[in-house]
Amino acid sequence: MAGDTLTGSRIREKRIMGGLKQADLAREIGISASYLNLIEHNRRRIGGKLLLNIAGALEVEPQALTEGAEAALIASLQEAADQAGMTGHEATKADEFAGRFPGWAEVLANTRKRVTALEQTVEALTDRLAHDPHLAASMHELLSTAAAIRSTASILAETETLQPEWRDRFHANINEDSHRLSESAAAIVTYLEADPDAADAASSPQEEVEQFLSSHAFSFARIEEGARSSDEINAILDDAPELRSHAARYIAQNVLHQVADDAAVLGLNDLRAAVAKHGTDPMTLARALRCDVPRVLRRLAALQELGAGLVVCDRSGTVIFRKSIEGFTVPRHGACCPLWPLFGALGDPGAVLMARIRQFSRADVAFDSYATSEAVGLPEYNVRPLVQGVMLLLPAQAGTGQGADVGSTCRVCPHTECRARREPSVLSVGV
Amino acid sequence: MGKRVVLVEDEINIAEAIRFLLSNDGWRVETLANGASAYDVIRKAAPDLVILDVMLPGKSGFEILHELRSDAALQSLPILMLTARGQARDRDMAEKAGVSRFMTKPFSNTEMLEAVRALMA
């Protein structure tokens, strides 16, 4: 067969060019040197997993060793058959299948490739969850302390004739361990909610974007100065080492286009002048500047001197943008607390909600929140527009009340009687 | 003369509670807070039972377990392993390495006493 003849010769050629000995390549791919010799001299058919392994070892694409895409397709089909445990006469008919149904064969090969990629992703994520060193160390500390308290408390409760010396000692131990337990629990909650120190370890596209925006302090001088074309925005993205994934770049691109649109309508200098004259109340500013409220909220968040936070969500309630503010946690994973005014505004399009809020367990930090929703995307006849919610968080002015309690996410929220609870908290029922 | 147990546990308050518990049950308890010298101490002390934490300074509980089980004289020594990591993988690893019993923290005192008594039965 001409194709196979060519394949063997190409393997030999690539191996010699790579400076590999026949025995070394054979060992690497798990076959005998004599069998590889037969392949290289075109005396054995080659395909399937073996072809892929040889290509991998020679660091070339399988196509480079065969006549082209068709042979690579057959190799992928044969590997799929091997993985599925297919045996017998039918297992040798991959070439016939590819010849008769090339479209279906392509679908099958691509599906196999995608399954393999997804399996690798699942494996990587599972590994990360299982081996997150910080989480593992924190949980170990928590459980060890709980074990000490449980054991000591049982001794105190169940030992009828405990000598005063031992009793005092165990009381002191429990006191010490209960402090440790509180600290360990607080450390875990802080880590699960958000870890500002982990900024260098972005593990999702959203985190990459957050890292990118933080490195620019959420302000882009070039855009403010008029560099708002797609090419100019792409140039900013090209200079962003934080945006490693395609998804992160896509998200950041949308963010920067929004910044450009906002900057074109309301410049930061104009906004600063208005704030100096009217104060920071968004509704007053919107009226004075004849500007829509969502845009005013976003632009206020871009004024670094205000130290404001901003959260934007889409119609599903998924957070698509966050600018963190100390004392108010926006969870990285899982759904946010439904008590946030942001979600109230989603259900009441056009309304602007103002509320003083504070997060449970952070009773001393209050924020003035302003939330509203707006239609996004280009309008179309007879199509209900998509909406997104915007919530600005400003440090609360002193002396105007404590405000309403909200959480971050149910999993780490300590409020036991919450009307909005979706699931138990790990703080009350364990993980 | 009571039976002797070597307890290798770096959490001082857990060690103290277990020590009290087992002493009240008639055991003589020797405690170690570091894994580095555990094998030598156990070999010299020749106890009736070893209680071994997994995460230890110096040497992990799994390493000590391997050392003990590699010693022909200690292959039948009852070893109770304690860990805050209750994952199936850790349990499997411990069982393959020859642990006699595996307990996850936090445990109750009753569980601890029952486990120790069962290992001596």
pLDDT of residue A1: 39
* A295 in a structural domain: no
The ipTM (two decimal places) reads: 0.85
Is A76 found in the same domain as A120? yes
The set of residues, in sequence order, having a beta carbon less than 8 Å from that of A332 and lying 6+ positions away, is A193, A194, A204, A206, A207
Coil, strand or helix at B116: helix
Whether the pLDDT of residue B7 is over 80: the answer is yes
pLDDT of residue A385: 87
What pLDDT digit, counting tens, does each position of B42-56 carry? 999 999 999 999 888
Q: List the structure tokens of B32.
A: 């170690």
Burial status of residue B27 (CB atoms within 10 A of its CB: 0-12, 13-18, 19 or more): buried
**Of the candidates A112, A128, A144, which is a domain's last residue?**
A128
**A428 with A416: CB under 8 angstroms?**
yes
**Of the candidates A193, A211, A226, which is a domain's last residue?**
A193
Is A383 found in the same domain as A337? yes
**A280 with A274: CB under 8 angstroms?**
no
* A189 in a structural domain: yes
Is A151 found in the same domain as A121? no
Is A159 found in the same domain as A245? no
Find residue A325's DSSP bridge partners.
A328
* A277 in a structural domain: no
**Model confidence, pTM:** 0.47
Is A87 found in the same domain as A53? yes
pLDDT of residue A369: 96
Is A315 found in the same domain as A423? yes
**Number of domains observed in the structure of chain A:** 4
Is A145 found in the same domain as A45? no
pLDDT of residue B88: 67
Is A6 found in the same domain as A124? yes
CATH number of the domain at A325, please. 3.30.450
* A293 in a structural domain: no
Contacts A140 to B, Cβ<8 Å: 55, 84-85
Mean pLDDT of chain B: 90
Contact A151 B85 (CB under 8 A): no
Asked if B87 has any chain A CB less than 8 Å from its own CB, the reply is: yes
Domains annotated on chain B, with CATH: 4-120 (3.40.50.2300)
Asked if B23 has any chain A CB less than 8 Å from its own CB, the reply is: no
pLDDT of residue B93: 84
**Of the candidates A232, A264, A296, which is a domain's last residue?**
A264
pLDDT of residue A195: 47
Asked if B118 has any chain A CB less than 8 Å from its own CB, the reply is: no
User: Which run of H or E residues covers position A367?
Assistant: strand A367-376
The one-letter code for the residue type at A316 is S
Q: Cα separations (Å) of A43 from A7, A23, A46, A92, A105?
A: 11, 18, 9, 18, 27
pLDDT of residue A431: 36
Closest CA–CA distance from residue A428 to any residue of chain B (Å):
16
Is A311 found in the same domain as A232? no
Block means of pLDDT (10 residues each) for chain A, 431 residues, are: 56 86 89 85 74 87 70 79 81 77 83 73 55 70 88 89 89 89 79 53 74 89 91 93 88 94 94 95 96 96 93 91 86 82 91 91 77 91 92 82 82 80 66 36
Q: Which of A144, A158, A163, A180 would you mutate first to test chain B, the one with the most B CBs within 10 A?
A: A144
Asked if B26 has any chain A CB less than 8 Å from its own CB, the reply is: no
Q: Give the pLDDT mean for B3-29.
A: 93
What pLDDT digit, counting tens, does each position of B62-86 carry? 999 999 999 999 999 999 999 876 6
Asked if A138 has any chain B CB less than 8 Å from its own CB, the reply is: no
* A281 in a structural domain: no
* A278 in a structural domain: no
Is A216 found in the same domain as A328? no
Is A112 found in the same domain as A140? no
Is A315 found in the same domain as A257? no
Could you list the residue range(s) of the whole structural domain that residue A349 is in? 305-431
CATH number of the domain at A23, please. 1.10.260.40
